[in-house]
Every structure is written in C-alpha cells, then in structure tokens.
Structure 1
Amino acid sequence: MSKKLKYILFLVILTIGAACEKSHIDDYIPPAVVNLTKFGIENIQLYTFDSLYVDTIYATNAGKDIAGNTDISFAPDASYVDSLNLAAGATYALLPEQCYSLDVNNGTINSANRTLTFPVKLRPRLIDALDKKVSYVLPLKIVSKLPGQLGPNKRIVIQPVIGQAFINLSDTGVTEIVASTAGDSIKYALQVNISFVNSQDKSHFSISSGAPVLTMYNTARNTMLQALPEDAYKLSYDSVMPKGASAATLNFVINKSKMPKGVYSVALKLNSGSFGDGQIFPQYSSYKVIRIINNTDTARNARTGWAITDYDSYSGAGYEPVKIMDNDFNTYWQCAYNSSQVGRVTLPYTIVVDMGKLTNVNGFELWRRPGTYVTDLRGGYFEVSADNVNWKTATAFDCGTTNKSAGPFYFYCETTNARYIRIHLTSSNRSNIANIAEFFTVK
C-alpha cells in the first residue's frame, strides 16, 4: 500500500472516530437554577459618617436553557440565626428591623431577564447605637414557589461592623530644616490620611495655616515659634479626597530668598473631613510645623555677671554646675551617679543660668566634656524667661549618638529677650550620665 493511500485511510478513520466521540461542550454549563452571586457570611465595614449604606445582592440564573418564569422572593431568614449559632458556636443576634430595609423583595427571572437586583439598605448610625457587646447579623434568603428552581447558594448572612473613621496627618509635630543645606527653595510634602478607602463622590478635608495656627500651637505648648512671612512660602493641595483613595498630598515650597535671617516656622492644622453627610476628626495631634533655621551666627553674649541660681545634681567637688561657665574647656559639670553625691542620679537634670540682665538671645552654644567620655551628653531642651517665673521653650538640642566632637554645638532659637536660661538634660549616650564643659548664648 502506498504511503499516500495509508495517509488517506488514516484521515478517514480519524474522522469517523471524531464523529462517534461524545461532545463535552455542555459539561461546563451550570444548571438552569437561581443562585445568589455572593453567599455565606459577608462582613461589611460601616462608618457613622454615612446615614445610609447600600449593599447590593444579586440573584441570577446562569444556565443555558431557562424554561419559563422563576418567581423569586427575597426576605430575612430569622430562624437561621439559631442554626448559625449552633454551627459556629457563636452568639449572634438578629439585626433589628429599624437598622435596615429591603425596598425590592421579589421579582421574576426568565430567559429575557436572568438577574435580579436586591438592594439592602443599612443604617450605620442606628447600628452603632446598638449594644456593642453583641454581634448582630442579618440572614437573607431567596425563595421560589416551585421546587427545583433554586441552586445551593440561596442564603447570605450580612454582618455589619462599625469601623472607627479617622483623618490624620502622616507627619505631625515639628520638623527642623537647616536652610544652608537646601537649594534655592525648601520643599516639604506630607499627606492627609483616612482610615478607610473613600467611596464618596464628594468628600473633602479642611486645613488651616499661617500665623494664627502658629499662635494656637505656641499657646498650647508654651513655645515661642515665630511665623515665616506669608510671601516666603506656598502651601498647595486639593482639599478633595479622591474617590477610591485613602490619602491626599500637601506640598510646602519655601522661597529662601524671601526668608529673613533667623528661625522661622510655617504651620498647618488639620481640622476635619467631610464624608457622606457626616464629619470625621483627627485621632492624633493635628498640627504640623516646619521650623527653618536660617542662622549661622556664632557671636557670643558676654558672660560677665552670670551665675548659677538652681540645679538638681552634681557629682562632687570639681564638678559643680558653675564649671559650665568658667572659661576652661577641660573642666566640666557632671551629674551625680551615686547616692553619696549631690542630688539626682537619674535623668532628667536641670541647671538654671542667670545672665544678670535682659539679654538678646538667638541661640545656644554647648561644649561637651573632653576625653574618652566625650559622647556622654546626648540631648535635652532650653527654656528662657525674663523673670524666672514665666518660661517658654526656646529649642530642643541633640548632640547625636556617634559624633565624638567636644564642640562647639550650636542650637538656634527665635529671637528673644531673656535673663534666665533653664537647661534640661533629658538623654544620654551612657546610661544616666550627663556633663557639660561650657555653655554660651548666641547674640
């Protein structure tokens, strides 16, 4: 038999075999019955800024051949709560009727209309008023008049959960920027964050900024931050929180050429957010301050007439607080480190310096002890006062953890007229040990 004849015979046999093979084209078509497209327990996160939340439930027949009509009703299934508790070992309670409504509860499915839509309207504020110790559920089911028209997925259990909705700044408190380390402009970005994904078409947040905000910040924290002139910076943002997002960006741009010499700050305050028909508020501190150090002066105020008027620790003779202004960089004040010495043996420590008269102060110069333990002193803050009664925080200081320099360390503040300086030492790189070799104020 020729090769060509063999090949023709093979094709004939193959064709006959294929014709005899059973078709499996219908094997993957679901039966023509009605099912819910979601079923089981559905946890729904709700927020009280919404007076109404709509959860849409679909009933559909995905079968190939739908014969006639299937009349469907959709209703709560109160009796299923007991079965659910028994199966899950839980103590669910039926969601009260006033907390939801079913505006559509029946319909007909046929070949021309395969899907029914059942909106379930939940009322978050009424749900939030329920007993917080109880877990509420709403079992719902579809029912047909004739047997065999429903598939296995005919019940859904809605479990509403009231979430805590907050709006916060991604970055709060004070951020210091040294102007000399930046280019022609200083740029700073932060975000407004919400604790959920925004589903609202119209939502926004409220921001306050400028000198009035800085005044509020100073009053609340007893600081003396000075406002940067408004023409020296720009704050830009879109107050609308985008739908589907959980963050929006704020941008500061500070023009160095318009910034006066000294230490100045820009501030903003996040007030609230409007979502749905309600408001949400910050969970944490809602202030952000950018403090720009635009000063490199090192000229010292004379220490003539200076005195130490108060202290709470020193380690004995030769280490008295007066050593911080004896003009000898090899001597130093050191805190007490055992009970046989004077005063406190644990952080924080305090030393009060009287400059003898009201003095213009723009900063502070610190020197640490020389030698092996030069890194002892870590950080703290300075306070200033004109009368030794009313104090304002001037600036924090931090000498770092790895810098092995004895000094000088410069820490600048807003221009102030003060007589008294209170040095608070709050952190150390060696347990509770702190020391200062010399201390000056900058003109």
Structure 2
Amino acid sequence: MKVNYIGIACLAVLLLTACDESKYELENLVPEEYHKVLYINKSGTQELTLYNTGELNTYAFSVYKGGSDPSLTASGEIAVHSQEEVDVLYGADYRIIPSGSYSMDTDRLDFVSEERSKVVTLSLSTDLIGAAMEANPEATYVLPLYLTSEKDSVNADKSELFIRITDVLTPAMGFMDTDIQPLSYTYGFDTESVEVGFGLDTDNNWDVECQFVVDPGYVTAYNAENGTAYKLFPEGNYSFEDVVTLPTGTSTTDLAVTLNGNGLTPGEYMLPIRLDNVSLFNIAENAVYPLVVRVVGIKLDRAGWSIQANTEERTGEGVGNGVATCLLDGQLSTFWHSQWSGGSIPLPHEIVVDMKKETTLTNISLTERQHDSYRDVKGGEFFVSSDKLNWTAVGAFEAQKVLEEQIFSITPTKGRYFKIKITDSYRASNSSLAEIHAYGID
C-alpha cells in the first residue's frame, strides 16, 4: 500500500515561497505529492455519548481535499485500526467496540475534480456497545479510524479520528431548571401566566406524550428537609394541561401554567409540578418543578413614620448620613451605619420603626448600602408590637450581598411597631442599610 503522509507546515512554506509565481511555475515548484492532500476535518479524539432509543445512533464526519491544486481527482479510504495497533499507539486500556456494532455508509472516497469534501456517516448499535461496556466496565471503548490512500497524499496531522464512547444512556425527559426562583405578585393580583420549560436530553425524533400532576407530598418533604414553611398552592388557583406532547424535531418546549390570585393571602406558596409519565424513554431525576409564588402585601406609605436604632454613626459618615432616619428618606445614596467612630456597639443591632397606626404586616424589605464592597447586613430577625413593650417574633431573614431591594415574608401580624434585629454581618460587627420598607394589608 502506497501512503504519502505529509506535514501541513511543509506545504505552507512551499505555497508562501511560490505566491508570486505563475500557475505553471507553481506546479513545477510544488512537488506532486502536495498537489492534492486529503484530511479529516475534525480529527483527533472525539468523545461520543450514545443514546439507547431502539434505533441506530449516527455520527457524521467530513473528509476534505486540499493541496496546491485541489481541482485534481483523488481517492482515499477510511479504515479501522486493529486492537494490536491500538495497544501500541495509545497504551491505555482501550477496547475497540464489537465489529458488528458499527458500519459506515461508505469507506471508499473518490473525489471528482469539483468536489472538495465528502461526508462519512457511521451507524452504531447501542445494544451491542452497551453490552460490551457492561461486561467490561474497566475498559474504555473506542472506534479508532484513520484515513489512507493508495496513490494520494494524506495530511499526517489530520489522518486519525479516535472516537471514544463515554456512555450509553437511555434518553430522559425532565424539567430544564428545577432551582427555586420565587415569583413575586402583589396581594389581590388577578391572573398570571408562567412558562415552565421541559425537554429531552438528546435530539428528538419522536412524538413523546408527557403527563403532569401536582405532588402535594413534595412540599411537606421539602419543608422538613430545608427548614422552610411553604404552603401548598391552593387547587382552585392554578391550571395547566395534564398531557403535553413534545413533537418530533423539538427537544424542548414549555408547560403553560396559569395562576389565579383570587383569595390568596400574603405568604409563600409552592406548586410542585411533577412529570409523572412519558410515552417513551425515562423520566429524569429533575422530574419536579417547584414553582414558588410569593404573594406580597401592599407597599405601605412611610409618610409620618419615625425610627430609632440602638446604634448609629452620627459624625463619621458625613453630614446627615449614617443615622437611622436615612432608612426612611427614599434616597438610596444615603445610609444608616452602626457606630464606629469613638467606639462601637457589638451585635445585635436593633432598628425600631413606629408606623403611627395599627397595620397587618406581611413583609419587610431591606436594601443594602449601595457600595461596591460594604453591604454589611447578613441575617437577623423581625418582630412586631402594638405597645413597643411586648414583641412577637414574626420571622427571620438571610440577606444577600446585592444592591436590589430584598423582600422577606413574615407571619402576617397586626401591630404599630416593627423591629429589625441584626444578628449577623458580612463585615465583623458592622451594620449598614440604605432603605427599609414594610408591606401589609390595611
């Protein structure tokens, strides 16, 4: 067998040297073996996950014809290394997939003058490959292909395609994202629409029916595991199609959910939508979408409110800054800060707001100081009182180091005063905030 393996760098040097020559001079300057050069476009090691769909999996790759005169005809073949060659070339515990587990639509490549590339399609049997992998789990199964030619040159750097099988999986249907992302709606909202994405983890060539249900037990289990107190979204306040078809040619789609706020009191609700059944394949681990809805009270008007704190920085932050009244001034550029000049008060730091009248509170919000680094408040507790003497604990909070307003749900409680008790800081014993708000039902 005559095979001319050449380095691409050599060809490049010759072409650059001859860039100003005529075609005749170029043909005489460039050796004949460089006139037409074959190579695999995406050569080297390629990892491939196979999916057990009951049908053959396919993998396509391209062989290109280049060189100084790619208009010439050329021919080549795709061959498979033997196990002995793989052992010598690669050394690792590689095993060639069973001989009956793959086929090529063509292994002979004959290029006519106008052709610049050809596509080779592999067909792979997941049953045979999966059985081999299960029987020998310590081995890595591969298909080591190489390009060769009886009469034409092959680029030595792009002559090998080493397909490494990473796994054989049964396709699974599941939700695209199951992280909790609370949706906030104001108390008394009418209807809202939510799109919940789900799909198959591979290309979809089938019409797959998916059945959805609500799983009330998920809320109980989630609360017990995470220390939360989500309420199950009431049955009469939502709707969605029980069965949705994922059509062929589409790997992902949305489940449309309609939410109705009629009669919902402020609080945090969870609607756990479970993918319960599919007409084909498996159900993925991400089979439950925890749709969380936070019903927030009406933002209260702070006109006439008063505020005090057990610590504030009266001088060090500039005129009019650092004091508790900054928390009610509606200006994000100002902020309250715990005392730091001339001594400091250790945590906890307490802020008490007098709303001047009794109101049923449902939420309290905090906005961190608008600073690149100093966003200090991390955690604490909320309290409500009618007389400023007897306080009722209504909730705890964990704040993020973000600039946006953070709204926290509390146990709906009637009172005139509310207290923020800061017990944890991101910066030693320092506390600072830009604004605070309260939400409720008049």
Larger Rg: 1
TM-score by length of 1: 0.49
